[in-house]
Amino acid sequence: MKIESDHIGNMLVVTPYDHRIDASSAADFKSQLSNWIHDGNCHILLDLSQISFIDSSGLGAIVSLLKQLAGKGDIRMCNIQEPVMALFKLTRMDRIFKIYQSSAEAIEAMTAIG
């Protein structure tokens, strides 16, 4: 899976460029992000603008990464497409992750936290 990353302040902005995070790609997605977390990136902004489909395997990978942070950081998300948002609401994950309409809004909020 092609994933781009960019440091903005103390955040790592991560943008997956495949259209799907599913059982065939979730392990690779998780592995790449896990390495970045292991390298000390604690504040992750996941830009899902290119993702049109996530299944429970993809969702499980994101939850696993949040657990890896063990309360020492967070994963926030932005640019979530409507069908993906529907999955987040269905599984109540929208209560777990802070979600922003745009990357600019997320960066502004996360920068304010410092």
Partner 1 sequence: MTQKMEGHGTIRLVINSCLNDIFLMGLAARSFCDFTPLPQSTSYQIELCIIEAVTNAVKHAYRGESNHEVEMIVTLDSGQITFQICDSGIAMKPLETAVMDFDPDDCQTIPESGMGLFIIQSVMDDVCYTTVNNKNILTMCKRY
Please report, as ranges, the residues that interact with partner 1 according to CB under 8 A.
Answer: 20, 22-24, 53, 55-57, 59-61, 63-64, 66-67, 71, 82-83, 86-87, 90-93, 95-96
Alpha carbon of residue 81 to chain centroid: 13
Q: 21 vs 103, which CB is nearer to partner 1?
A: 21
Q: Which of 12/21 has CB closer to partner 1?
A: 21
Q: Toward partner 1, which CB reaches closer, 58 or 79?
A: 58
> Tokens 């902005």 label which residue?
13
Non-local CB neighbours of 3 within 8 Å, separated by 6+ positions: 14, 15, 16, 17, 29, 32, 33
